[in-house]
Structure 1
């Protein structure tokens, strides 16, 4: 029996012009860890809701693996988070998450992502989110997509703006103790999605949708 028979999400692949996105498999973990160890953001404020990149080089690999394994326990027809490993030119360069709760009723997804620093500044962050949004709207039937970023994180907010997201309120968060920041929430309606001038290629969607109850 193939592992994809046990966990059908492993059949799913989303291809954009330069990238391949597929749910994180154990074989992707070494590349994902290396991408994180190579650096995700400069020293200073963390762009993440949980400061996972603060972990030491000795701790980060196991922490990242445990986090990815834990996400698989959070997949059900009602609620799910699927982390996609982002592949570019034969290597893993980051991750793009897609999550939802009460999806059959809410038809709303949430996204989050990170890229290794060497891959930043080349439009890949926009491409991987645009690819995942195309999948969410066209294949999953989502009606809304939500995301958020620290108010100072102009790179992430610029991607959201380019793709058609609108501001959806500000909340106060403290990823690190004693370092509160404003978090900008954003929201995108399917009709307002600024579609790229390319199309995605999706493989294995039927099995994946059955596992997600769609």
Structure 2
């Protein structure tokens, strides 16, 4: 019908094939972010991501008023989508449990075709923490990177006092790879760099299900 637009059903014909990419675990579904899902994620953030006296992020975005934080988060994801190239990408997977967004798990790379290295980051709403969702989603993107994209190394970072994040990374097999000083809330804080190879990865007892990857490979340098 004239005046109507349609998203191609064939991922190979879609200019943004990431809308068809999905990772599935026993409890979770991970899809690259879209605007509707981001609005759900921002509502999760409004209800709280961490205790006020803590700050797990290098950039303290959760200190901002909700309206400012929400606009900034949307603009950041729009910039990352718009700037996506095979040489520089950041997939911000929205993590869903029973159809509801509960957090986000990022998978990032620079010059992946040559270096075969990825980095990971994540956060979840307070009400969804402590249930193993973070470990499950993190394991999902690692399995995706190692087994489906051909990554040879994965990196992560956490502040020394972020016991929860460091416990999850150790559970997955990461090893500490030095420290660095960074500013956090205008104070110097110590951050631990972590590194993981496919051989060190402590795999879950389930097999990751992946759909829609083939049309995305060229845009990931894979």
TM-score by length of 1: 0.96
| Partner SS for 2:140 | helix
Map 1:27-42 onto structure 2 (within 5 A): 27-42=36-51
8 A Cα contact 1:81 1:100, kept in partner: yes
* Equivalence for 1:2: 7
Per the alignment, residue 188 of structure 1 pairs with 196
1:60 Cα deviation after fit: 1.8
- CA–CA separation in structure 2 for the residues paired with 1:93 and 1:173: 28
Structure 1 residue 210: deviation in Å? 2.4
Take 1:187 and 1:118, find their aligned partners in 2: how far apart are those partners? 29
The yes-or-no answer on 1:176 pairing with 2:176 is no
Q: What count of residue pairs does the alignment treat as equivalent?
A: 213
2:86 and 2:220 in contact (8 A); partners too: yes
Deviations 1:15-47 (A, max 9, x none): 011110000011202111101111000012310
Whichever of the two has the greater Rg, that structure is 2
Is there any run of 5+ residues in structure 2 with no aligned partner, and where?
1-5
SS in 1 for 2:48: coil
What residue number does 1:64 align with? 73
SS in 2 for 1:75: coil
Provide the rounded CA distance (Å) in 1 between the counterparts of 2:185 and 2:218. Answer: 39
* TM-score, scaled relative to structure 2: 0.93
Q: Supply the distance in 2 between the matched residues of 1:89 and 1:31 (Cα, whole angstroms).
A: 14
Aligned to 2:23: 14
Which residue is 1:93 aligned to?
A: 102
**Alpha carbon RMSD of aligned pairs, Å?**
1.1
1:203 counterpart residue number: 211
Name the CA distance, whole Å, in 1 between partners of 2:205 and 2:55.
33
Q: Decide whether the 8 Å contact of 1:86 with 1:96 is kept in 2.
A: yes
Structure 1 segments of 4+ aligned residues over 6 angstroms from their partners: none
Q: 2:129 aligns with which of 112, 120, 123?
A: 120
